[in-house]
Structure 1
Amino acid sequence: MQALLAAGMTPEDTLLDIGCGALRLGHKAVPYLKPGHYWGTDASLALMRHGRFTELPDPSTLPEDHLIEDAHFAFPGIPDSITLALAFGVFTHLPQSALQTALASLRRFPNLRATLFTVFLSETPGPTRQPDGVVTHPDRPPYHLPEAQIAATIADAGFTPARQPLLLPRGQVLWTAT
């Protein structure tokens, strides 16, 4: 929530929570946003449904059809009204091609102001110990990428890249694609 609020999120925004899982963010975002303004995607519909019933004080505040099973970042059934998107801890576990696919698919939302996402960074070609001790890799999870490669991926998708200064758990780095 802190990152989204710093990016200017208001209750009027319509948020797409990519890789929302069991609603780690959703349990905070749903009550903050106007009714119907939260949408979540994840590879597991069962996990999202579980989160809806266990994390939300009132599950009826999040319509079940606002939780979309989507392992391929195609965002089926997500409305054009999306103004902000967040993928926290998603692309740390997937190859760079997943980030490229997601950014390309996000271009279809005409009202999208920004997408926030996290990655691990490293300029070395081999395993890297991140600040909290987690070891990341260029070729298997958890993945890391060079900073210039992230910026180029964002720019190639037609967005403006910006690395954010916010310190995140496990050494993840927050990026904004506007």
Structure 2
Amino acid sequence: MRALLAADMTPDDHLLDIGCGALRLGHKAVPFLKPGHYWGTDASLALMRHGRLHELPQPEALPEDHLVEDRDFAFPGIPDAVTLAIAFGVFTHLPHTALTTALQNLRRFPNLRTTLFTVFLSDSATSTRQPDGVVTHPDRPPYHLPEAQVAKTITGTGFIATRLSMLLPRGQVLWSAT
């Protein structure tokens, strides 16, 4: 929530929570946003449904059809009203092509002003110990990417790239694609 509030999220925004899992963000965002303004996607519909029932103080505040199973970052059924998107801890566990695909497909949202996402950074072609001790890899999870490659991917998909300074768990780096 801190990252979204720093990106000027208001209750009027329409949030797309990519890789929302069991609603670790959703349980805070749903009550903050106006009714119907939260959408979540994940590879597991069952996990999202579980989170809706067990993590939300009022499950009825989140319509079940606002949870969309999406393994391919195609965002099926997500309305054009989306103004903010976040993918926290998603691209650290997927190959770089997933980030490219997600950013390309986010271009279809005409009202989207910012997408926030996290990655691990390293220029190393081998395993890297991040500052907090987690070991990342260029070719398997948890993945790391060179900073220049992240910036190039963002700009190459038509967004403006900004590396944000917010300190995140496990040495993840927060980026904004505007």
Q: CA deviation at 1:125?
A: 1.1
| Number of the residue aligned with 2:41 | 41
Instruction: For residue 123 of structure 1, report the CA deviation from its aligned partner.
Output: 1.2
- In structure 2, C-alpha distance between the alignment counterparts of 1:126 and 1:166, rounded to whole Å: 26
Tell me what 2:82 maps to.
Answer: 82
2:113 corresponding residue in structure 1: 113
- Using the size of structure 2 for normalisation, the TM-score is 1.00
Corresponding residue for 1:157? 157
Paired residue secondary structure (1:165): coil
Identity of matched residues, %? 78
Match of 1:174 in 2: 174
Q: Distance in 1 between matches of 2:80 and 2:50?
A: 26
Q: How many angstroms apart in 2 are the aligned matches of 1:132 and 1:65?
A: 38
Q: How many residues align?
A: 178
SS in 1 for 2:166: strand
Q: Which runs of 4 or more aligned residues in structure 1 lie more than 3 Å from their structure 2 counterparts after TM superposition?
A: none
SS of 2:145's partner is coil
**What is residue 100 of structure 2 aligned with on the other side?**
100
Residues 14-29 of structure 1: matches in 2 within 5 Å? 14-29=14-29
Distance 1:123 1:70 in 2: 30
Question: CA RMSD of the aligned region, Å?
Answer: 0.3
- What TM-score comes out, normalization by structure 1 length? 1.00
Structure 1: state its 5+ residue gaps: none
Question: Structure 2: which 5+ residue stretches go unaligned?
Answer: none
